[in-house]
Amino acid sequence: MVRLSRRLRGFVQVACSAALLGSFFAIPAVQAHNNPSFREDLIATVPVTCGADGCQDSAAFALTWEPKTVQLIWRVEGDPGAKAHFAVAQDGKTLAETVADGDATGRFEGKGIQIVGAAGFDANFTVKVYAKVLDRSAAAEGGKVVDTALLDRGKKVFESANCIGCHKWHGSGGGGYGGAALSLRQSALDDDQLRTVILCGRPNTGMPYHSRTAYKGDDTSCYDMTATQLGEMMPPKAPKSVSDRQLDALVYYLRHDVIGKGEPTLEECKAFWGDKSRMCSIYE
């Protein structure tokens, strides 16, 4: 019979107290905090001329937006009727139909964009186009300055290390190739505990270890035990290990964008995958 170290005994006792090692990432559950903050940046002002014979197509304009943009918001200045609407086209190709004041669309960009087919307007009007941007400012984050470069690196590690394979893009877990992964969004682990689980895996579960050196020979850096001592409780080795730099970025990303969040939202999905991804259709 394997004699467990004090450190591992504590690990197993905590895990067993929540459904037989099944909820280590979710002990104790934390109350969800606010979803990500967004801001609206004005990126275009487009005048449209209307007369007795209707409205003319606008002059061509260009749209550019920053990478954290999740969608575009179209706001009409003036007094449009309840049924007033227009379409958006680019080089003769329709991008969006029946757009009304305050509507959101996908993220169109480039030159040659026009407001076309306006209907229901009695006078000239102006359309202001806003980019809805994921806000990482100190004010939006409760006064905390967010390292956006580190955050982006962490997201890339979350993808490249295939954390999304089991925990899914949103971190809520569920079935995956490694089994029923636990919810990172509900985790109350501190940063050191996160590092331990990522590097060392979780004994007797499908959570793999990502350390290059763990469990080699007489190494006891993980849970004060060797691979031989763990025996059948030995966690699997991840196909791809992570460096210390990658680990720091991953933990930072989990702390800011995953842990403590509520249910996944359409805006979060678009921020992760991009506006045109089919992955987000289930949130619409």
Structure-block tokens of residue 259: 């842990």
pLDDT score, position 24: 40
Q: What's the CA gap between 219 and 188, in Å, rounded?
A: 28
pLDDT score, position 35: 52
pLDDT score, position 130: 95
Q: What's the CA gap between 242 and 279, in Å, rounded?
A: 27
Q: What's the CA gap between 196 and 203, in Å, rounded?
A: 12
250-270 residue pLDDT tens:
999 999 889 988 888 888 888
Residues 6+ apart with CB under 8 A from 221: 200, 211, 213, 214
Structure-block tokens of residue 176: 């995956």
pLDDT score, position 143: 60
pLDDT score, position 67: 77
Residues of the chain with pLDDT under 50: 1-3, 9-34, 178
pLDDT score, position 241: 93
pTM score, two decimals?
0.60
Residues 6+ apart with CB under 8 A from 238: 161, 162, 201, 208, 209, 210
